[in-house]
Amino acid sequence: MAIDLIKIILPSVIAFIVGIGFTPILTKYLYKYKMWKKKAKTVSIDGGGTPIFNSLHAEREVSTPRMGGIVIWVSVLIVTLLFWIVGHIFYGGIFTKLDFLSRDQTWIPLCILIFGAIVGLVDDVLEIRGLGGNYAGGLSLKKRLILVALISFLISLWFYFKLDVNSVNLPLMSGINIGLWFIPFFVLVTLLMYSGGVIDGIDGLAGGVFAIIFSAYSGIAFFQNQINLAAFCAVIAGSILAFLWFNIPPARFYMSETGSMALTITLAVVAFMTDSLGEGRGIAVLPIIAFPLIITTASVIIQILSKKLRGGKKVFLVAPLHHHFEAIGWPAFKVTMRYWVVSLIFAILGLILALI
């Protein structure tokens, strides 16, 4: 038990330290080369204008660097490889026991994290340069969804055919075998989690929410004796906290797509890893633990449907939901901290339900 706790906590702390140490280097580069949008967006996701959003964030949009998510995935990659290398150099000792990179628990989520980070990084670079298929530069939403769907489809095939996973678990119930439907279900869940990346819009908001979510899944994995996966999730949480240190108001940089895509699709994979594969209920509690992501995505969908079906009428002053709260007068820091509180409450609730 003691070595397991050390295996989870120590890499997380080191990831935080690595992130703190790496950030000044990244910051110098981002500001030197002016890695921010050259113009604020003028078209919303539903094709409408963005006057309210621009009144709240236009100035920061064109003066604050993007790609801050690099801090997160670089820190995770460095710490993961560090413990793997040291574990092999001093094979058979304590360092080998602390190595959490394993084929059965962490290879898949690590590869997904790096894939999402690279695709997101490409999107960020295109957006900064005003290139690509989006209205203000960057990959179009359609292209990003296709890429996420493709990689999630490939991973779902690995789960189904290689790992023989074809069911999901529910609280107080045994696994429900869904057969081949597991594959589209996997893709759908991944796309839903990816859509939750729209939560990245206020200083400190996404960082705090994601840190809590991955901490909760670290706890779930730990109690299911998936120690390597628990350590991996804890390392992600530690890296996010390093990012958050510099992202609290006023943010030094934004997480942007290279961070949000990496984290959201990795979260989906972790949820499946902690489900029937880990004899747990990682999928059933995902809507609870990731409630802030779900409700934020839902606000965008509701807004789009309302404007299309009700002759342009809106439900929210502006979507996503956190910007609506800003529009009605909540200070940005109040929105952020209340999101953190809600995230913590739902994370604890989800953790409890996962252990029943």
Q: For residue 137, give its domain range.
A: 2-355
In this predicted structure, the answer to whether residue 133 has a pLDDT above a threshold of 70 is no
Cis bond upstream, residue 250 (ω within 30) = yes
Q: Give the Cα separation of 294 and 311 in Å (integer).
A: 26
If one counts the domains in the chain, the total is: 1
At residue 221, the pLDDT reads 97
Band the pLDDT of 171: cuts 50, 70, 90: confident
Q: What's the token pair of residue 17?
A: 């330290």
Cβ proximity of 212 and 340 under 8 Å: yes
Ramachandran sector of residue 40 (left: φ over 0; alpha: ψ -120 to 50; beta: rest)? beta
At residue 134, the pLDDT reads 64
> Would you report the helix, strand and coil content of the chain in percent, each value rounded to 5?
70, 5, 30
**Termini Cα distance of the chain:** 21
Average pLDDT over residues 54-79: 83
| 172-189 residue pLDDT tens | 667 789 999 999 999 999
Contacts of 19 (CB under 8 A, 6+ apart): 71, 72, 75, 238, 239, 241, 242, 243, 245
Band the pLDDT of 116: cuts 50, 70, 90: very high
| 45-65 residue pLDDT tens | 655 656 666 665 556 677 789
| 305-341 residue pLDDT tens | 998 888 888 899 888 999 999 999 999 999 999 999 9
At residue 77, the pLDDT reads 97
Q: Of 97, 95, 94, 100, give the one whose Cα is nearest residue 80.
A: 100
Of residues 140 and 137, more confidence is placed in: 140
How many angstroms from the chain centroid is the CA of residue 106?
Answer: 16
In one-letter notation, the amino acid at residue 115 is F
Q: Of 61, 76, 58, give the one whose Cα is nearest residue 232.
A: 76
